[in-house]
Structure 1
Amino acid sequence: MEEKLVLYIKVQELIKRKFKVAQIAKELKVSRPTVYKYLDMTFDEARAYTDQPLGKKKKLDHYKDWILAWLEEYPHLSSAQIHDWLLERYPHLVVGGSTVRTYVRDIREVYQIEKKVVVRQYEAVPEQPMGKQLQVDWGETRQKTIDNKEIKLYFIAFVLAHSRHKYMEWQTRPFTTRDAIRCHENAFKFYGGRAEEIVYDQDHLIAVSENAGQLLLTAEFQSYVNERKFKVHLCRKADPESKGMIENVVKYIKGNFADSRVFSDIEDWNKRARQWLERTGNHQVHQTTKKRPAEVFLLEKQHLQPVSSLLSYESTINQSITRSVSKDNTIRYKSNRYSVPLGTYQTMSENLVWIEVEDEDRKTLVIRREAKGEVIAEHIISSEKGKLIQNRHHTRDRSKGLKEFKQRLISYFEDQVQATAYLDEISQRYPRYRRDQFTIIYKVIQQYPALIDTILIKCMTEKLYSANDFRDVAHHLDTLRDEPVEEVQSFYTSTPTHSHIKASTRSLNAYTSILGGRA
């Protein structure tokens, strides 16, 4: 091959220029054994060698074009990632890790594809007995999407300390405590039980603080710990000896699974994550234990504590989880699509809704815009797969009622032109929550009918385009109506409770004018 003959010529040129072998290897991005090999050859020997570059046919030659394309686009990829990508594309391929490493190294040398080496620091972690400890941590990545944009993803990772058996879940928004609890339950189901102790970093999702060894958990997570009865160990910050194992797992997930992978939707992403765990994360031999986590886990599983299938509080308080709304105004739940009202999907928003399963007999799927907000859709859950369950009302444009509501609000104001502009701006900023926004403003109108025109002027002047801001201004103005001018001035020159109302920058004359007084 011409590439190798060119490499031979470059080696000879550099040695004539008094380069050392290590310098040549670094300059040409090849290994030192390769440099020695070419130094021992004559030109004719090199040409004969390059005419038969591969000697006998190699097992991965059939996949060379794929490997070369991946390395050229993502030069930083490790041989382990190449191995995983091959198995993902060709599930029936049987090839060892050392074979892939050798082949990738040869490709890099021939095509001069340098890999950037990142030095990673590791801390020794004491070995734990079977079933003793589970470590948990959170991470986030930025991924390219299929439409060549970028999205931020968040994940939670679990690892059993003895077997190194791993589990993870992803979502498109930051985790809440309830998300963390849901993922713990899914992890226990995945493992078939729980460990005696769970190790965490000082994460605000679960812990308020750790004061001289006294652990303070958030009320919601403390309730969960009491229910599941596991011990909690909270690491100090920068304490890799306690949680180095899970930190390495987070790095492994980022560097092997997530790195350079393209995102389409969160359900597909989680499905591919589970497949990666099965073929790579829990299948490949662990560098420390020299064993496959999946095989060791079969023994450790017998030492885990059993967990009930349902938490006691779940029987009375339904647990909400989120789903993404597709462009066709449907969500996916257990292999089926369920409709939501037309217009729920918005091009400039995150498009998340909250779902719950209610009524044990009929199994009703309840869909809300917010966790405890207005119900926008209900469906009887189908036992079939691949079906579209659609409410015929969801195919209609139901904006007429909202328009009438908006016109009714406008009619209460003296300056209806300005009121229209204000509500239009709110509609543009909160397209999915227009009815909620209008409802709050309507309640303010009912409570403070004499102040609404003053509130509108204030909000328009200060560019406070939110129903909550409208309500806050109403409360403040109502409180200050009967107070002396000096107290009004004192109030607005002090640090405001609501920092978004920038009243402290105005003069006393402006406030007395707004309130109908004289300067």
Structure 2
Amino acid sequence: MEEGCLNATVLYDEIVAKGYTGGITLLRMFMKPLRPAIMEKATLRFETPPGYQAQMDWGRFYVQWDGEEKRIYAFVMVLGYSRTMYLEFTEDEKLDTLIGCHLRAFEYFGGRPEMILYDNMKTIITRVDERGHAVWNERFSRFADHHGFLLQRCQPYRARTKGKVESGIKYVRKNFWPRVRTFTGLDDLNRQAREWLNTVANVRIHGTTHEIPFERLKKENLKPINSTPFFEVDRHSRKVSLDGFVSFENNRYSVPYTLVGQTVEVVDLKNGRICIYHGHQLLAEHGKATGRHQVVVNKKHFEGLRTVGPHPVPQPMPKRVRQPAPEVMERDLSIYEHFLNEAVTLQ
């Protein structure tokens, strides 16, 4: 209710999922005296027209990974008009990671807004000039220009300036995160996040708009992004081993066996996925190994290996084994003397 949701039906569905066993009538009785106080605290929200604004921010989460506590990052973007949300977990908040998350968010939304609002994150704001204007990271500014959206910085110490995404991150913490029982890596966690977006977050009746985000998304009229890629992602050259694998960060990943001996490029998307290219051709995509000295295999990469060419692959010849020395029967010397006497008599 403090987040602006006064719809008893919506709240009922959420608390039932968390174990509530009572009825909706009891919930309404509980909410009734709280409504006036909540509404009194409410402030005038800044609403934007369809397709105009999105808000973006990072959330930080802590998990137990390989026996130690590790911090992961949640990229959250919310469209201002429809409240449609995009969520993706990453290894870090670096610039390349941020750019990749933007592109995947635009793909999920089906386009990009006119402008995106950010807080004062050091990744993209180099400094603030003497007039209080943000000096944007030159590379990120070129990325925005390339795809045609404007950059806007929220007012310092005014979190409510980007309240839509702040509420979105709180919603992720309270609604999605408690549902995560276990996950095998970022790739698995992002699959769970995508399912949650499609079946819960973006199909509920939103507490502020009182409409379903996916339904309002149809009215956003988002613009398409530039079809020409902004940059080639940093690639790590690797030579394919004789057994059809490439090594990356102390782990091995399979590629089609026909590439044995050739040089390929590994791209770490920093979201739990590894892509392997040969020129512009995508050869393989794997979930990123979470430990060290692990082998990640796609069995399809080795299909047809034993039947390649017009003739069956010859089997290796057996190794030659030295024959042991023949056994010699031992006889008494008198026998040989007997044979010698017989030979003299015959003569």
Instruction: Tell me which of 17, 20, 23 is aligned to 1:102.
Output: 23
1:387 corresponds in structure 2 to 300
Instruction: Provide the C-alpha distance between the structure 1 equivalents of 2:151 and 2:217, rounded to a whole number of angstroms.
Output: 22
Per-residue CA deviation, residues 68-120 of structure 1 (Å, 9 max, x unaligned), is xxxxxxxxxx865555579xxxxxxxxxxxx97637979xxxxxxxxxxxx9x
SS at structure 2 position matched to 1:299: coil
**Pair 1:237–1:386, CA change in 2 (3 A):** farther
TM-score, length of structure 1 as denominator length: 0.41
Q: Does 1:141 pair with 2:61?
A: yes
1:241 corresponds in structure 2 to 160
- State whether residues 285 and 293 of structure 1, in contact with CA within 8 Å, keep that contact through their aligned partners in structure 2: yes
Higher helix share: 1
Q: How does 1:248-327 map to 2 (within 5 A)?
A: 248-259=167-178, 261=180, 262-300=182-220, 303-311=221-229, 313-314=230-231, 317-319=232-234
Q: How does 1:40-51 map to 2 (within 5 A)?
A: none
Q: Which amino acid aligns with 1:218?
A: N
Instruction: Provide the C-alpha distance between the structure 1 equivalents of 2:106 and 2:49, rounded to a whole number of angstroms.
Output: 18
SS at structure 2 position matched to 1:155: strand
2:84 corresponds in structure 1 to 165
Per-residue CA deviation, residues 18-44 of structure 1 (Å, 9 max, x unaligned), is xxxxxxxxxxxxxxxxxxxxxxxxxxx
Instruction: Provide the C-alpha distance between the structure 1 equivalents of 2:254 and 2:23, rounded to a whole number of angstroms.
Output: 43
Q: Does 1:204 pair with 2:122?
A: yes
**Pair 1:83–1:366, CA change in 2 (3 A):** closer
**Pair 1:277–1:83, CA change in 2 (3 A):** farther
Q: Does 1:178 pair with 2:178?
A: no
**Pair 1:355–1:298, CA change in 2 (3 A):** same
Q: How many Å apart are 1:318 and its aligned residue?
A: 3.4
- State whether residues 273 and 285 of structure 2, in contact with CA within 8 Å, keep that contact through their aligned partners in structure 1: no
270-279 or 260-269, which deviates more: 260-269
SS at structure 1 position matched to 2:122: coil
Instruction: Provide the C-alpha distance between the structure 2 equivalents of 1:260 and 1:223, rounded to a whole number of angstroms.
Output: 38
- State whether residues 194 and 307 of structure 1, in contact with CA within 8 Å, keep that contact through their aligned partners in structure 2: yes
Q: How many Å apart are 1:225 and its aligned residue?
A: 1.5
Instruction: Provide the C-alpha distance between the structure 1 equivalents of 2:202 and 2:142, rounded to a whole number of angstroms.
Output: 32
- State whether residues 134 and 161 of structure 1, in contact with CA within 8 Å, keep that contact through their aligned partners in structure 2: yes
Instruction: Provide the C-alpha distance between the structure 1 equivalents of 2:276 and 2:79, rounded to a whole number of angstroms.
Output: 30
Q: How does 1:298-447 map to 2 (within 5 A)?
A: 298-300=218-220, 303-311=221-229, 313-314=230-231, 317-319=232-234, 329-331=251-253, 355=275, 357-360=277-280, 362-364=281-283, 387=300
Q: How many Å apart are 1:180 and its aligned residue?
A: 0.5
Q: Which runs of 5+ in 1 are unaligned?
A: 1-77, 87-98, 107-118, 334-349, 370-381, 393-519
Instruction: Provide the C-alpha distance between the structure 2 equivalents of 1:308 and 1:258, rounded to a whole number of angstroms.
Output: 34
- State whether residues 319 and 356 of structure 1, in contact with CA within 8 Å, keep that contact through their aligned partners in structure 2: no
2:332 corresponds in structure 1 to none
- State whether residues 143 and 260 of structure 1, in contact with CA within 8 Å, keep that contact through their aligned partners in structure 2: no
Q: Which amino acid aligns with 1:291?
A: E
**Pair 1:105–1:208, CA change in 2 (3 A):** farther
Q: Which amino acid aligns with 1:201?
A: D
Q: How many Å apart are 1:234 and its aligned residue?
A: 0.4
Q: How large is the Cα RMSD of the aligned pairs?
A: 4.2
Aligned length: 248
Instruction: Provide the C-alpha distance between the structure 1 equivalents of 2:249 and 2:191, rounded to a whole number of angstroms.
Output: 21
Q: How many Å apart are 1:139 and its aligned residue?
A: 0.7
Q: Which amino acid aligns with 1:387?
A: K
SS at structure 1 position matched to 2:47: coil
Higher strand share: 2
**Pair 1:141–1:366, CA change in 2 (3 A):** closer
Instruction: Provide the C-alpha distance between the structure 2 equivalents of 1:326 and 1:257, rounded to a whole number of angstroms.
Output: 32
More RCO (CA 8 Å, sep 6+): 2
Q: How does 1:444-463 map to 2 (within 5 A)?
A: none
Q: Which amino acid aligns with 1:195?
A: P
- State whether residues 131 and 304 of structure 1, in contact with CA within 8 Å, keep that contact through their aligned partners in structure 2: yes
Q: Which amino acid aligns with 1:102?
A: G
121-130 or 285-294, which deviates more: 121-130
Instruction: Provide the C-alpha distance between the structure 1 equivalents of 2:73 and 2:225, rounded to a whole number of angstroms.
Output: 27
1:126 corresponds in structure 2 to 46
1:216 corresponds in structure 2 to 135
- State whether residues 79 and 100 of structure 1, in contact with CA within 8 Å, keep that contact through their aligned partners in structure 2: no
Instruction: Provide the C-alpha distance between the structure 1 equivalents of 2:178 and 2:100, rounded to a whole number of angstroms.
Output: 26
Per-residue CA deviation, residues 340-372 of structure 1 (Å, 9 max, x unaligned), is xxxxxxxxxx9x997553413x544699x9xxx
1:156 corresponds in structure 2 to 75
Per-residue CA deviation, residues 310-353 of structure 1 (Å, 9 max, x unaligned), is 32x43xx33559xxx999944599xxxxxxxxxxxxxxxx9x99
Instruction: Provide the C-alpha distance between the structure 1 equivalents of 2:283 and 2:63, rounded to a whole number of angstroms.
Output: 35
SS at structure 2 position matched to 1:238: coil
Q: Which runs of 5+ in 2 are unaligned?
A: 1-10, 28-37, 237-246, 256-269, 289-296, 306-347
> In terms of Rg, which structure is larger?
2
SS at structure 2 position matched to 1:137: strand
**Pair 1:220–1:326, CA change in 2 (3 A):** closer
Q: How many Å apart are 1:293 and its aligned residue?
A: 0.6
- State whether residues 148 and 225 of structure 2, in contact with CA within 8 Å, keep that contact through their aligned partners in structure 1: no
1:232 corresponds in structure 2 to 151
Instruction: Provide the C-alpha distance between the structure 2 equivalents of 1:148 and 1:268, rounded to a whole number of angstroms.
Output: 18
Q: How many Å apart are 1:241 and its aligned residue?
A: 3.2
Q: How many Å apart are 1:277 and its aligned residue?
A: 0.5
Per-residue CA deviation, residues 275-330 of structure 1 (Å, 9 max, x unaligned), is 00011111111111111111111222xx211113332x43xx33559xxx999944
**Pair 1:331–1:297, CA change in 2 (3 A):** farther
Moved segments of 4+, more than 3 Å: 78-86, 103-106, 121-124, 147-151, 318-321, 325-333, 352-356, 362-367, 385-390
